[in-house]
Amino acid sequence: MGNGLILGIESSCDETAAAVVRAGSDVLSNVVATQMQMHALYGGVVPELASREHLRNIVPVVRESLRQAGIEAKDVDAVAVTAGPGLAGALLVGISYAKAYAYALGKPLIAVNHLEGHIHAVLMESSESIHKSSESASQRVSESVGSVVGDAAGNTLALVVSGGHTHLYLASLDEGVWRYRNVGRTVDDAAGEAYDKVAKLLGLGYPGGPWIDRLSAFGNPRAVPFRFVEINRGTVDEPSFDFSFSGIKTAVLRYIETHGMKGAIEDRRAALEKIASPALDDVRALCDAATLDLIASFQAAVVGNLIRQTMAAAQHFGAKRIVVSGGVAANRELRARFEAEAGKRGLTVRFPAADLSTDNAAMIAAAAWSKFAQGEFAGPTLNATPQLRLG
């Protein structure tokens, strides 16, 4: 079992990441090389460029993760890598490297689902303080996850909400093995994608989520009433708590057109292009009151919808604990309203720390921990699965 040191590697989208995590929650290093600025020039992630950058970054990023952890390659007990979902070419860079690395070290390889990683970005923090190095790995796994699952209250409900995903999972631990059941998902755009598209429509920078988050504080969230259609692909016996975010994007576009906002948007876009790294004050000064109201109303509607569906699912399945993860989990209104709503219902809600909410490899190494203890290893034929599902 060694020291329980897992080297995690993540390259599913636009971050090349490596991390060393001990026993599923003790983060010894967490290195991320982001390509965000390069993709920002194109207004979104360009797959070919992402693969090329991963190739360029993977060796120094892994090396740096070992250096920061203060360990040598031979100390690693297993290599964990994201197998999907994600961009095929991007995933392949991490997988090929992880395979070669594990083979050269003579250590096991562990395949991790990226979504499971996001969920463990929260679970790992909840279990952080309870490890004792003298215990066996499997003991530690069941204890650490035990604290997360809680007083036998049953399931944890996980909302994974990012630029590529908006999924609800029931997560539970069954004899040392995490099991997931998908109980809701977006039928079209992901929530983060809606943020990015609406920001683009309004002439704001990429990625749009952080801009909309900060600008929302200056607008009236009740100015524009957006409505969501109820989507439910499930049945009475097996309900599904689904999302749809393409409608609100179209509604924003229509609002822009019918309220004569196009000229001001073009002016804003042109002005922002001239500023190398605009500050919040720069961007705010370029937004009139009607634009700020539209931004605040869009955010309030999206956050409201995410919370409504999650709470409905929590109630239906009797989940007492909610974890929210993925890039959009950084949103301040989302966190505040989730906490308020959960408090009212006597539920617990947890979010990852900022550096664990966007893509990283510590979450991959953490998710690999129970698989390591169970001996659930990947073979040399491991391949990228761009559409990999969880649950």
Q: Give residues in contact with ligand KG4 (CB under 6 A).
A: 13, 162-164, 192, 195-196, 207-210, 213, 326-328, 330-331, 358-359
Task: Tell me: does residue 162 bind Zn ion (CB under 5 A).
Answer: yes
Task: Tell me: does residue 14 bind Zn ion (CB under 5 A).
Answer: no
State how far the Cα of 6 lies from the Cα of 57, in Å rounded to an integer: 20
State in angstroms the smallest separation of the CB of 214 from ligand KG4.
Answer: 8
Binding residue for Zn ion, selected from 116, 189, 341, 359, defined by CB under 5 A: 359
- 168 strand-pairing partners: 159, 184
Closer residue to ligand KG4 in complex, CB, 85/108: 85
Closer residue to ligand KG4 in complex, CB, 11/291: 11
State in angstroms the smallest separation of the CB of 365 from ligand KG4.
Answer: 17
State in angstroms the smallest separation of the CB of 200 from Zn ion.
Answer: 20
Stretches 67-75, 212-220, 280-288, 355-363: which one binds Zn ion (CB under 5 A)?
355-363
State how far the Cα of 299 lies from the Cα of 76, in Å rounded to an integer: 43
352 contact, one of Zn ion, ligand KG4, none, CB 5-8 Å limit per kind? none
First to last CA, the chain: 28
Q: How many residues does the chain have?
A: 391
State how far the Cα of 339 lies from the Cα of 341, in Å rounded to an integer: 6
State in angstroms the smallest separation of the CB of 86 from ligand KG4.
Answer: 8
184 contact, one of ligand KG4, Zn ion, none, CB 5-8 Å limit per kind? none
Phi/psi at 76 (nearest 5 deg)?
-70, 135
Closer residue to ligand KG4 in complex, CB, 349/373: 349
Closer residue to ligand KG4 in complex, CB, 13/313: 13
210 contact, one of Zn ion, ligand KG4, none, CB 5-8 Å limit per kind? ligand KG4
196 contact, one of Zn ion, ligand KG4, none, CB 5-8 Å limit per kind? ligand KG4
Residue 4: left (phi > 0), alpha (psi -120 to 50), or beta? left
Within 46-105, which residues bind Zn ion (CB under 5 A)? none
Helix (H, G, I), strand (E, B) or coil at 101: helix
Closest CA to 305 of 288, 328, 277: 328
State in angstroms the smallest separation of the CB of 199 from ligand KG4.
Answer: 7
State in angstroms the smallest separation of the CB of 45 from Zn ion.
Answer: 12
Q: SS3 letters for 267-332?
A: HHHHHHHCCCCCCHHHHHHCCCHHHHHHHHHHHHHHHHHHHHHHHHHHHHHCCCEEEEECHHHHCH
- Cβ burial of 74 (10 Å; 0-12, 13-18, 19+) is exposed
| Token couple for 168 | 């609800």
Closer residue to Zn ion in complex, CB, 24/85: 85
Task: Tell me: does residue 155 bind Zn ion (CB under 5 A).
Answer: no
Per-residue CA distances from 228 to 15, 255, 376 (Å): 32, 16, 42
Q: Using an 8 Å Cβ cutoff, are 327 and 355 in contact?
A: no
Closer residue to ligand KG4 in complex, CB, 213/242: 213
State in angstroms the smallest separation of the CB of 114 from Zn ion.
Answer: 6
Closer residue to ligand KG4 in complex, CB, 8/207: 207
State in angstroms the smallest separation of the CB of 129 from Zn ion.
Answer: 26
* Runs of H (alpha helix) within 159-245: 191-201, 208-215
Applying CB under 5 A, the residues found at the interface with Zn ion are: 162, 359
